[in-house]
Amino acid sequence: MDAVTTAHLARARELHHASRWAEACTEYAAADAEEPLCVEDLQAFAEAAQVSARGDEAVALLHRVFEQRVSADELEDAAQVAFWLWWVLLNTNEVVQASGWLKQTSRILGPELAGSLWLRIPEAMFQAATGNRSRAGELLRAIVDEGQGEVVPWALCMWGQTLIEDGRLEDGLDRLEEAMAILRNQGLSPRVTPWIYCAAVRGCCVARDFARARDWNRSMARWLDSLSSVGGAYLGNCRIYRSRLMSLNGAWPDAVDEIAAVCADLDGYTGWVCGHAFYQLGEVRRLRGEWDAAEGAYRRAAEHGCPTQPGLALLRLGEGELDAASAGVRRALTEVAATPDRLDLLKAAVTIYLEQGDIEAARVAVTEFEELTEDLTMPVIDAERCAVRGALSLSEGDPVGALPLLRRAVATWQDQDAPHERAQVNVLIGQACRALADQDGARLEFSAARETFERLGARPDLARLDRIIAATDAGAGTSGLTPREIEVLCLIARGKANRAIANELHLSERTVHRHVSNIFTKLDVDSRTAAVAYGIRHGIVERGTL
């Protein structure tokens, strides 16, 4: 090897060790042009190209490494190289080529080596993607039990995510914890490290274990910040979940900057990572009331095959398009089976249905949410369960039943340092206080929510809070009637029976009967005529009705 080649190669190895992979690729390429690299350096070159998002280059290099490993009869090593080539093709959205490559690998290596531990991972992923999570779990458990080296934490992460998607959240988090322990204690290669971090933080977010997600995110952030460049899809997936946690903690400007940078970096990339990035961008834009920008981001997410619900339905709700919001979330619920994704949809559905006045649909959604989470003990899931049940109870005219649930939810969100979620529950508590004629309590809750919404820049929530306050202020002197009870009283004043009121407001007759009973109790009357008369005297019902 001449001096020029030696210098390029030494510099390439130094840059690779320093995690400066794009620069390392330049030096590896220069050395390779002078004299073909040995298989170890060629493999390092392929890894640097893969991590720095040079997909086509990584594929070509991995083909060369594979051929050399096979020629040297190093078939176990060849099987691992075959896996990485499949993974690069998959992540650049070359799904057909990835599948064809696996078939070619099986023919070249033979049935015994084609079943190596690394090459069992694609089969496990296929089983999980097609809904056979039990079989996927069996395959991944076997890899963990039989394997050694980096295939073990890789399989642990995939296994953990599979369990979480199947609703076994605590079991899944345990597997992710094992993988993170290996990463922290032993260190892993540049192409395995981002997968472990991303899978672990994503799994925690999906399972609502935000305390653990923050801990792992801090570790991931230190690693990302140590790199000279964080561009490309391979590292972009880590940054998506960093943005999500920033958003949860109320750092919305930072969350926007982070995810917008990822989307700009991935613009033109056709992989699934790009779709997830644009969905997260849409979510932050929606929370800030940037409707057009949010819709554009959701559209880009859809172009990359990423689901756009429940975000798009909540966007339509914010725009006041209740029918479109309801139709979107109802359609999504017919398609989504994974427990965590379904919980997100059900939460959004409850919000949309209650805003629409469809109490029966909201009741069905709340019941399903409770059934799916019955055996789940995570604090955040308990808070979500309490919040949806409390919101439903409030809409059903039962503020006394709603308040303990809502107080429990807001305490958890406070502990989780999730200001937006806490403020949204503050609004519900304020409405419950108003319904019970506790005006001071209501003002305190509304004021706390307003301060948070203003600080975050949550314009849609501020607008909704203003509408709620205006509606309840307009009903001053209503003896604590809720907005829904005022609607019912006005329809009674128009001579409508309970069945007609139920039809008009999309409620059950049982719910209307409860509202009427609450009206009688709060106004201290014993007839519909007396209730209407009270409403006219206090400006609730328009004069001339009787």
- Quick one: 451 and 513 in the same domain? yes
pLDDT given at position 471:
64
Residue 483 falls within a domain, yes or no?
yes
Distance between the two ends of the chain, CA-based, in angstroms?
A: 103
pLDDT computed for residue 494 by the predictor: 84
Assess if residue 150 is contained within a domain.
no
Co-location of 410 and 282 in the same domain: no
Is 446 contained in some domain? Answer: yes
Query: For the domain that residue 282 is a member of, what is the CATH number?
Result: 1.25.40
Q: What is the dihedral of CA 365, 367, 373, 378, to 10 degrees?
A: 80
**Any domain includes 177:** no
The whole domain housing 331 covers 320-376
The CATH number linked to 507 is 1.10.10.10
The answer to whether position 398 is within a domain reads yes
> Which of 328, 347, 376 is the endpoint of a domain?
376
Opening angle at CA 541, ends 539 and 545, nearest 5: 125
Domain-terminating residue out of 287, 308, 329: 308
299 and 371 within one domain: no
Residues in the chain: 546
Whether residue 418 is found in the same domain as residue 481:
yes
* One domain, residues 368 and 405: no
Name the domain count of the chain. Answer: 3
- Residue 43 makes CB contacts below 8 A (sequence gap 6+) with 65, 81
> Does residue 325 contact residue 352 with C-beta atoms inside 8 Å?
yes
Q: Cα–Cα distance between 234 and 277 in angstroms, integer?
A: 12
Task: Give a yes or no: residue 101 inside a domain.
Answer: no
* Residues 202, 37: Cα–Cα separation, whole Å: 37
- With left for phi above 0 and alpha for psi between -120 and 50, is residue 389 left, alpha or beta? alpha
389 and 533: one domain?
yes
**Domain final residue, candidates 308, 337, 367:** 308
Helices (H) and strands (E) in the chain, counts: 29, 0
Q: Based on the fold, state whether residues 414 and 335 are members of the same structural domain.
A: no
Give yes or no: residues 365 and 423 share one domain.
Answer: no
Q: Are 353 and 399 in the same domain?
A: no
Q: What average pLDDT values come out for the chain (546 residues) when binned by 10 residues?
A: 86 93 94 94 95 90 96 93 93 87 90 81 92 94 94 96 93 96 93 92 92 92 84 80 93 96 81 88 96 95 92 93 94 93 96 91 97 93 97 93 97 96 97 91 95 96 83 57 81 89 82 89 88 80 54
- Determine, yes or no, domain membership for 30: no
Assigned domain for 487 exists: yes
- Please give the Cα distance from 136 to 274 (Å, whole number): 26
Q: What is the pLDDT of residue 470?
A: 67
- Residue 258 and residue 235 share a domain: yes
Same domain, yes or no, for 531 and 389? yes
- In a shared domain, residues 394 and 487: yes
Answer yes or no: are the C-beta atoms of 519 and 481 closer than 8 Å.
Answer: yes
